[in-house]
A and B are shown apart, each in its own frame.
Chain A
Amino acid sequence: MANDPGSLRTALGRVRFLGSAKSGTHHAWHMRVTSVALVPLTILFVWIVASLAGQDYNAVRGMFADRFMPATVMILFIATSAYHMMLGMQTIIEDYVHDEPIKTWSIMGNLLFSILVGFAGLFAVLKLSLT
């Protein structure tokens, strides 16, 4: 959106009447929904990790055989966290990265990283729980 040096149009004139981006509240709203969901999920997650701490392989496998706690709670925590952290990191990138190509690549990298972390965690929990 670099301003053409030869143009007499002002920055306001170029964008006026184009309308909003149509998704202004989407990001902020999803941030809040995931935040609220993560309050109980994080408390349960800490409880699970504290129970797993120092346990050997067979004990950990035994615990994950329980389908609700930890398995389902862990899946909900990982999925919600992955989305929440993707939204949060995008805000940080948009605040500090002003170069347009670097910003676009960073937001894409953020999305891919969050998806990778989320799905790797989900598949691991499913395998631990179901096999």
Chain B
Amino acid sequence: MSEVERRRPLSPHLQVYRPMLTMMMSIAHRITGAALYVGALLLVYYLVAAANGPASFATAAWLFGSIIGQIILFGFTWALFHHLLGGIRHAIWDTGYGMDHPAREYLAQATAIGGIALTVIVWAIAYMMR
């Protein structure tokens, strides 16, 4: 590479920006997406265990019913809802709406609060249905 090319400016990366809510939500969207990627193994494990028979299902049910299992599933639920709402937010932006400052702040807050609220509501309902 020539000296001229080496000194060409690079686009500034994350660390030069002041942290903002919309930026945090963007990062959280990617992190929850990656977490769900790994979390898909939990779903497949549960289904394969159930398809395998009562013995392997009992092991899976015990694992998911344990304290650690429940905490992981709670985190999985939050990641799923956060990513779902983040996806809806991106779909709204894709149509061209909600790009101005108050709207995008509102959408970011709605994603953050909505993800937590839906997680708590679903777990409360699931516990009540038992």
Q: A36-B91, A60-B57 are in contact. Are A85 and B47 (CB under 8 A)?
A: no
Interface residue A42 (Cβ < 8 Å from any Cβ of B): yes
How many B residues touch the partner, as a band?
A: 20 to 34
- Contact residues of B between 22 and 53, Cβ < 8 Å to A: 30, 33-34, 36-37, 40-41, 43-44, 47-48, 50-51
B interface: dominant SS: helix
B48 partner residues in chain A, CB cutoff 8 A = 120-121, 124
A92 partner residues in chain B, CB cutoff 8 A = 30, 33-34
Nearest CB of A to B9, in Å:
15
Nearest CB of B to A29, in Å:
11
Complex: A35 Cα to B1 Cα, angstroms: 41
Interface residue A18 (Cβ < 8 Å from any Cβ of B): no
Interface residue A68 (Cβ < 8 Å from any Cβ of B): no
A74 partner residues in chain B, CB cutoff 8 A = 47
A5-35 vs B, CB cutoff 8 Å, 1 = contact: the mask equals 1000011000000000000000000001001
Complex: A128 Cα to B44 Cα, angstroms: 13
Interface residue A67 (Cβ < 8 Å from any Cβ of B): no
Interface residue A108 (Cβ < 8 Å from any Cβ of B): no
Nearest CB of B to A90, in Å:
11
Q: Is the CB of B91 within 8 A of A123?
A: no
Complex: A105 Cα to B37 Cα, angstroms: 18
Interface residue A1 (Cβ < 8 Å from any Cβ of B): no
User: What 6 A-B pairs are tightest by C-beta distance, nearest first?
Assistant: A124-B47, A124-B51, A50-B126, A127-B51, A121-B44, A124-B48
24 cross-chain CB contacts under 8 A: A3-B1, A35-B87, A36-B91, A38-B84, A42-B80, A51-B129, A53-B130, A57-B54, A57-B58, A60-B57, A82-B40, A85-B33, A88-B37, A89-B34, A89-B37, A117-B41, A121-B40, A121-B43, A121-B47, A121-B48, A123-B51, A124-B50, A124-B51, A127-B51
